[in-house]
């Protein structure tokens, strides 16, 4: 009864790995090699050596055969029972064996007992898992930066588990999800392959929907001129789910890169905007003229003048009072994206009429009404006079000087009162 049970386990075990081959696409040669090596490892532990064994594996049929080869020696002269067999024992197998001949006999693996079968199962599972990891890593290691579609399998607080068409597991971390994304089990999700980690031969495929690469690949799919090399994407700055700025360039004077990317009435970006949860896309013409590039990046605001410090990557931008709010944007979004796109720190100032330019007062003169540490914080961002502070955007003072809104409002109130007198 026990032997029958072991036989059933043995057959079931081979069936399991035959099914694995069918689902994981491991080639037959590799599977045969792994199965044979696993059998030999167990045989070596049992007999001390596997050199005199023939292992024949047929994963397609789900069976295997093992033969032990021994040399016939005279009775009483057996020195190695694994590699030699006494003549009297050989004659029990075949009545015409003689000393010096080779005897090959089948080995019933199930007779080695439950421990041997368990050992084989564990060895096989370990090697198959290693093969699976190698296969997954090799499949994805050269696909970083490509878009992939997968099915949502599991939703957790910190990540979403997605499976590809071969049931491989892919990870979409919370940090790589667009804030407005909502996922449902079974739905299809598109993302870019951000990276492939392979720590301790345990590959993890990390996806992203917030990476600029994702937007770049979506544009390449929607705008044929990009795929054809007629238009180049020079830089992308994104605040995922809210707004993005894309700098494009064409070396063909007949092509308007901005118009080609946007399409008639925005037809080419409509699908991308929906994919990105209504993320607004601003497409601008790239130029190596940094002043002009900063000016374009601040669109829709119209810039009056710009001072650029290329060594420190800083720019002072002057605008008419009514243009300042456009340059900064809601929540400072427009100026943040412009800074990301141009890689310049951009400070925005209102233009001061010439007849008021000379009527200014140094901030230190207000130390009796404004705490000195507040004055120092404002001066640290390059604003030394009252007019400079008044003409600077309130949002910039809060962010750059790292002051509370109430503190900034108090400073502005004190300075404005001085000029209203």
Domains and CATH numbers, the chain: 2-138 (3.30.1480), 153-210 (2.40.50), 229-285 (3.30.300.20), 287-351 (3.30.300.20), 356-420 (1.10.150.20)
| Closest to 237 (Cα-Cα) out of 324, 347, 346 | 346
7 has pLDDT over 70: no
Provide the β-strand partners of residue 1. Answer: none
Identify the H or E element spanning 196.
strand 188-199
Structure tokens at 266: 């925005």
| Closest to 242 (Cα-Cα) out of 345, 330, 327, 346 | 330
Tell me which of 56-60, 190-194, 233-237, 389-393 is least confident.
56-60
The answer to whether the CB of 230 falls within 8 A of the CB of 250 is: yes
**Alpha-carbon span 302 to 318, nearest angstrom:** 10
343 has pLDDT over 80: yes
Cβ of 224: how many Cβ atoms within 10 Å?
12
Q: Look at residue 408 and give its three-state secondary structure.
A: helix
Average pLDDT of span 20-42: 72
Structure pTM? 0.69
Cβ of 147: how many Cβ atoms within 10 Å?
17
Q: What angle do the packed helices 2-24 and 114-140 form, to 10 degrees?
A: 0
Q: Identify the band that residue 251 occupies on the pLDDT scale cut at 50, 70 and 90.
A: confident
Report CA 79 to chain centroid distance, whole Å. 61
| Closest to 388 (Cα-Cα) out of 405, 366, 421 | 366
Q: Identify the band that residue 354 occupies on the pLDDT scale cut at 50, 70 and 90.
A: low
Average pLDDT of span 179-191: 94
Q: Identify the band that residue 321 occupies on the pLDDT scale cut at 50, 70 and 90.
A: confident
Tell me which of 63-72, 270-279, 305-314 is least confident.
63-72
Highest mean pLDDT among 60-74, 115-129, 253-267: 253-267
**Alpha-carbon span 89 to 35, nearest angstrom:** 31
23 has pLDDT over 50: no
355 has pLDDT over 70: no
**Alpha-carbon span 50 to 40, nearest angstrom:** 6
Structure tokens at 199: 């720590």
Collect all residues with Cβ–Cβ distance below 8 Å to 44 and sequence separation of at least 6.
50
Provide the β-strand partners of residue 53. Answer: 68
Collect all residues with Cβ–Cβ distance below 8 Å to 215 and sequence separation of at least 6.
236, 238, 244, 246, 272, 276, 281
Hey, which bits of 291-331 come out as E strands? 305-309, 314-319
Cβ of 246: how many Cβ atoms within 10 Å?
25
């Amino acid at each position: 009864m026990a032997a029958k049970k072991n036989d059933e386990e043995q057959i079931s075990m081979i069936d399991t790995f035959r099914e694995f081959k069918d689902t994981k696409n491991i080639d037959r040669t590799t599977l045969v090699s792994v199965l044979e090596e696993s059998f030999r490892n167990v045989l070596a532990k049992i007999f001390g050596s596997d050199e005199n064994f023939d292992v024949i594996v047929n994963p397609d049929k789900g069976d295997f055969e093992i033969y032990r080869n021994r040399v016939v020696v005279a009775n009483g002269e057996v020195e190695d029972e694994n590699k030699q067999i006494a003549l009297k024992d050989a004659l029990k197998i075949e009545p015409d064996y003689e000393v010096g001949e080779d005897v090959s006999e089948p080995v019933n693996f199930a007779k080695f007992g439950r421990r041997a079968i368990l050992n084989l199962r564990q060895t096989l599972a370990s090697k198959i898992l290693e093969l699976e990891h190698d296969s997954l890593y090799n499949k994805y290691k050269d696909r970083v930066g490509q878009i992939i579609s997968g099915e949502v399998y599991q939703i957790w607080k910190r990540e979403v588990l997605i499976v590809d068409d071969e049931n491989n597991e892919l990870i979409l971390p919370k940090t790589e999800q667009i804030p407005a994304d909502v996922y449902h089990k079974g739905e299809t999700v598109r993302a870019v392959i951000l990276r492939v980690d392979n720590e301790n031969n345990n590959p993890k495929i990390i996806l992203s929907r917030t990476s600029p690469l994702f937007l770049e690949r979506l544009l390449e799919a929607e705008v044929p001129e990009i795929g054809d090399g007629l238009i180049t994407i020079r830089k992308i700055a994104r605040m995922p789910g809210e707004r993005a700025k894309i700098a494009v360039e064409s070396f063909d004077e007949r092509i308007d890169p901005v118009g080609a990317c946007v399409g008639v009435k925005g037809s080419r970006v409509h699908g991308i905007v929906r994919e990105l949860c209504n993320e607004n896309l601003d497409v601008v013409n790239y130029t190596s003229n940094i002043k002009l590039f900063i000016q374009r990046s601040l669109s829709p605001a119209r810039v009056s003048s710009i001072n650029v410090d290329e060594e420190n990557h800083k720019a002072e931008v002057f605008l008419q009072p009514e243009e300042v709010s456009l340059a900064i944007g809601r929540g400072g979004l427009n100026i943040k994206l412009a800074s990301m796109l141009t890689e310049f720190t951009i400070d925005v100032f209102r233009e001061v009429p010439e007849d008021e330019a000379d009527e200014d007062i140094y901030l230190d003169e207000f130390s009796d009404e404004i705490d000195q540490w507040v004055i120092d914080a404002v001066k640290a961002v390059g604003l030394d006079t009252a007019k400079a502070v008044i003409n600077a955007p309130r949002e910039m003072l809060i962010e750059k000087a790292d002051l509370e809104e109430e503190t900034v409002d108090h400073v502005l109130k004190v300075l404005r009162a001085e000029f209203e007198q």
